[in-house]
Amino acid sequence: MAFKTSTIALSIALFGALSFIFGIIAENKKPAAGIPIPGHDVTICKFPSDPTVALGSISTVALVFCTALGFFSIFYSYKGQSVPRDALFQSTTLVVFLGIAVGMSVLGGLLMLWATISESLHRIDNVHHGLDYKCPTAKTGLFGGAAFLCLDAALFWLICQMLTLNARADYLEEDDPKGQYGQVLATDYDANVRAKV
């Protein structure tokens, strides 16, 4: 099955945007705290029903798809022409941006998982000893920060795809369809100017 570069790029952008959007919505829907209900030597926390845990989970899954598509975009043999990995990774810029993309994906995923898991643990473990327990939720800003890291990861995966296409063109010695630099002659310029006038 043949994929176009634009299809892969749009898929990376779509999943990155979904991860960002769901993370931001999770941050906005998260309650500041639960309602403490005092009992006999215990406090029972009652949390309002909200989709924070589900949104955080969906955001994490979207980031996983974005990352998988990012790796796919680097190692996929476009137009049936494969390029050895050694040739791809001769481009220092590609290696640096790949490292940044992987780092952003891991960091964004871990932060989103941390926020989602801590939020769900607060809801599951809702009986606490002591009457002064305040029933906190996950730290404010975790979902939002993770969402921005997920968006950054998607952007870096798109940059990696562009750099991969450049490295492939250099290895396969493909001609640039726009021509070589410096090919425009003064006579060509004068002919274009006269034609427009």
Distance CA 158, CA 7 (A): 12
Supply the pLDDT for residue 176: 53
| Residues in CB range of 163: below 8 A, 6 or more apart | 91, 93, 94, 97
Distance CA 8, CA 164 (A): 13
* Residue 28 domain flag: yes
Q: What is the identity of the amino acid at 96? A: V
Question: Are the beta carbons of 23 and 55 closer than 8 angstroms?
Answer: yes
Helix (H, G, I), strand (E, B) or coil at 116: helix
Supply the pLDDT for residue 128: 78
Supply the pLDDT for residue 89: 87
Q: How many residues does the chain have?
A: 197
| Domain of residue 162, residue span | 5-175
What are the angstrom distances between the C-alpha of 18 and each of 67, 113, 136?
Answer: 13, 16, 27
Q: How many CB atoms lie within 10 A of CB 144?
A: 18
Q: pLDDT tens per residue, the chain (197 residues)?
A: 557 888 999 999 999 999 999 999 999 998 888 888 888 888 888 888 889 999 999 999 999 999 999 999 998 877 777 888 888 888 899 999 999 999 999 999 999 999 999 989 888 888 877 777 788 888 889 999 999 999 999 999 999 999 998 888 888 876 555 555 555 555 555 666 666 66
For the chain, the domain total comes to 1
Q: What is the identity of the amino acid at 111? A: L
Supply the pLDDT for residue 76: 84
Distance CA 126, CA 163 (A): 49
